[in-house]
């Protein structure tokens, strides 16, 4: 689990899996989230899971992260 570095909003009824970059204990969501945007796949070192039932995350909120090899 990592601390989010900036705010994020999504639809409450969906779980989001987002490409992200972890730096120490903090994580930043990458901009290009479309599956066709390969640049973010090359940059990402983790995938975040933002659960359904919540719409907003703020800087400092703890999120689930799956580290990539």
Task: Measure the CA–CA gap between 29 and 48, rounded to whole angstroms.
Answer: 8
How many CB atoms are closer than 10 A to CB 19? Answer: 23
Angle (nearest 5°) at CA 5 between 16 and 35: 35
Reported pTM: 0.88
Which residues, in sequence order, are bridge partners of residue 19? 47
* Mean pLDDT of the 28-37 span: 90
Instruction: Report whether 62 contacts 2 (CB < 8 A).
Output: yes
Task: Say whether pLDDT at 21 is over 90.
Answer: yes
39's enclosing H/E stretch is helix 38-43
pLDDT for 26 beyond 90: yes
């Amino acid at each position: 689990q990592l601390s989010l570095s900036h705010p994020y909003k999504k639809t409450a009824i969906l779980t989001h899996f987002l490409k992200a970059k972890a730096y120490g204990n903090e994580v930043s969501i990458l901009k290009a989230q479309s599956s066709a945007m390969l640049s973010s796949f090359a940059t990402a070192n983790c995938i975040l899971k933002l659960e359904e039932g919540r719409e907003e995350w703020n800087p400092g909120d703890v999120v689930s992260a799956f580290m990539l090899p």
